[in-house]
Amino acid sequence: MKRYIKNTIWGSMLILSVTSCSEDLLNLSPKNDITADQVYSTEQGYRESFLKVYGSLSMTSGGGEGASDLAGIDAGQSDFFRLYWNIQQLTSDETLCGWNDPGVPDMVYGMPDADNIMVKGLYTRCIYTITVANEFLRESTPEKLSARGIGNTAEIDAYRSEARFVRAYQYWVLLDLFGNPPFVTEDNLIGKVAPEQIQRADLFKYIEKELLEIEPLIKAAKQNEYGRADQGAVWTLLTRLYLNANVYTGAAKYTEAITYANKVINGGYALTSNYANLFLEDNNVTSKNEIIFSINYDGVKTRNYGGTTFLINSLINGEMTPVNYGVPTGGWGGNRSTKAVPTAFPDYSGKTDKRAMFFGDKLENDELGEFKDGLRVTKFKNVKSNGTPGASQGGTFSSLDFPLFRLADVYLMYAEAVLRGGTGGSTAQALGYFNQIRTRAYGNATGNASAITLDDILNERMRELYFEGYRRTDLIRFGKFTGSNYIWPWKGGVKDGRSIESFRALLPLPSSDVIANTNLTQNQGY
């Protein structure tokens, strides 16, 4: 189902302002005369409403590339992936952005404040998707289905389990980045009271409970339509949740991480033979056995300036020949690597470790605003594995699907959980999974290790997953994000980097929301 979103009807989508996000959670109302009884009067209406849940991850709205579901933020910057990627990458040791757009420099320094537009945008986008999922769940109860004479309840029950998964994933993003967000489910009454704040440890328990309840209800691993969640996605998110449990709750759950990593690994997935194919436009064909859950994009039918359109165009400029990246009229020249990324490889030419995909010859990051100060990353292309260009309206938009969850990450999570003391796995198996990744990267066993440490895992995560939106969370889990024990260029706002305060391991809640909702308490330090 590579292009399923094109079937979504967005006429009744709601507009949510970034100025008072959680307050609006309980006060949303349609901006037209379509009522719920009309929208949900047929099985097709339920399917279209269900697809809005997924569509809210990959699109900015149903009104084309210039429209957004969120008010108060540029439409092109308001999609989930662009906001999430910027926060995960720009605050880390991997990525620099030379643009001086609002919020970008502070994000690069690792020091965004409570008025940062990307902080507001991601927080609001997550709440928006949660709201869409809540509405679908509210309208698809057995009682509502019976009253409306809807017969195919088994299919709608499947939709419900997936909507719950997407909601759990969005709550995980809020848990991971913000810690203590407002909390609402389909059981809350609309328009009555402002949402309560949930504490991080309690949100962890809620997400865990939801995923464990969904696990037997959702379709089996690799049995759902492409781009839709299944048991493999549930297991992967549980693995990620448990691996980070010590950060979220103060109690380690590495044994549980191993349990669910094993379920993924035994679920029929396999590494694709060619690493580069993971990031080419036909990855839904060439890499479908490694990709567990993806965000799907269509550069013709569902265009926006976020997603992989943003990712590809922001990493290249005109001198890099945009046609080779499947965006012949694109190339925005914004994001590039810190020197930490290419120097993590034995050489950055790609001759030894084929995952090293860079352009340029200046490693140093002397000027933040200079796109050529640092190597450019070239691994993402709107091009098929046979070299033909992917679909692109106007030569700028991308049809590359983004692999949000993939098997190589699960291998590394398993290895890390074993090294951190979890039971139910073995160091020999951890080393074996680590070396499977290395063998693919080198094309042979010359890069394989005889033993691994936690530092090896963190370094391998950079080499395997660079620029894929993992790094901030990884650095926090390894205790290297704040403080001075690990410094990278422009950390803290100075060229050579400096220490940043420990409270910055959590993002602030948007100040406008804290003011509007008196139930919210700002995260410490902001």
For the segment 284-343, what is each residue's pLDDT rounded down to a tens digit?
Answer: 999 999 999 999 999 998 889 999 999 999 999 999 999 999 999 999 999 999 999 999
Domains 38-218+484-516 and 221-271+406-481 fall in the same CATH topology? yes
Amino acid 64 reads: G
Give the Cα separation of 328 and 167 in Å (integer): 36
In whole angstroms, what is the distance from residue 177 CA to residue 505 CA? 8
Distance CA 252, CA 272 (A): 32
Q: How far apart, in Å, do the first and last CA atoms of the chain sit?
A: 43
Tell which residue, 204, 217, 216, 214, has the closest CA to residue 243: 204
* CB neighbour list of residue 511: distance below 8 Å, 6 or more residues apart: 114, 115, 522
**Which pairing describes strands 376-377 and 196-197: parallel, antiparallel, or unpaired?**
unpaired
Average pLDDT taken over every residue of the chain: 92
Rounded distance, CA 109 to CA 92, Å?
A: 9
Contacts for 99-103: CB closer than 8 Å, 24+ residues apart: 99/334, 100/369, 101/77
382-391 pLDDT tens trace: 999 999 999 9
| The two structure tokens encoding residue 19 | 């100025």
- Quick one: which of 342, 326, 400 has its CA closest to 376? 342
Low pLDDT (below 50) residues in the chain: 1, 3-20, 22-33
Q: Tell me which residue of 382, 339, 346, 386 sits closest to 364, measured CA to CA.
A: 339
Cα(376)–Cα(279) distance, integer angstroms: 16
**pLDDT, tens digit, 9 for 90 and up, residues 188-199:** 877 667 899 999
What does the alpha-carbon distance between residue 235 and residue 165 come to, in Å, rounded to a whole number? 11
**CA atoms of 170 and 135, how far apart (whole Å):** 15
pTM here is: 0.94
pLDDT at residue 1, rounded to an integer: 42
Q: Which residues pair with 196 in a beta bridge?
A: 183
Question: Using a CB cutoff of 8 Å and minimum separation of 24, what contacts does 282-288 make?
Answer: 282/384, 282/385, 282/386, 282/390, 283/400, 283/401, 283/403, 284/2, 284/226, 284/227, 284/401, 286/385, 287/403, 287/406, 288/226
The region, left, alpha or beta by phi > 0 then psi within -120 to 50, assigned to residue 453 is beta
Question: Residue ranges per domain, the chain?
Answer: 38-218+484-516, 221-271+406-481, 297-400
Tell me whether strands 95-97 and 335-337 are parallel, antiparallel or unpaired.
Answer: antiparallel
Fold of 38-218+484-516: 1.25.40
Rounded-to-integer distance, Cα 69 and Cα 14, Å: 7
Summarize pLDDT for 422-478 with one digit per residue, the tens: 999 999 999 999 999 999 999 999 999 999 999 999 999 999 999 999 999 999 999
For residue 3, what pLDDT is reported?
43
Q: Which fold has domain 221-271+406-481?
A: 1.25.40
Kindly state the helix (H) or strand (E) to which residue 472 belongs, with its residue range.
helix 471-477
For residue 12, the model assigns a pLDDT of 33
